[in-house]
Amino acid sequence: MTTIIIHPKTKDEKKLLERMLKKMNISAQVVEDSSPNYETLKAMEDVEQRKGKRVKNADELFKDLGI
């Protein structure tokens, strides 16, 4: 399973990402909690250890995924 952590900068960006992921039939879970959960901490650790990839915005993510 791949975990993607997205921290939208605005409400409009959040809505856009939710619509795009839904259209792409990708299951997404929005977490509003300000403290990271286990999956988020693990994904952040993977990025720090170069096991994951960090992207700056949705465009970069979709380009990386080939979408």
Residue with tokens 């039939």: 25
In one letter, which amino acid is 19?
A: R
What are the extents of the domains in the chain?
A: 8-23+51-67
Burial class of residue 22 (count of CB atoms within 10 Å of its CB; 0-12, 13-18, 19+): exposed
For helices 11-23 and 58-65, what crossing angle results, to 10°?
Answer: 20
pTM exceeds 0.85, yes or no = no
Write out pLDDT tens, residues 22-62: 888 887 776 666 677 787 788 778 777 777 677 778 788 78
Q: Which residue has the higher pLDDT, 5 or 14?
A: 14
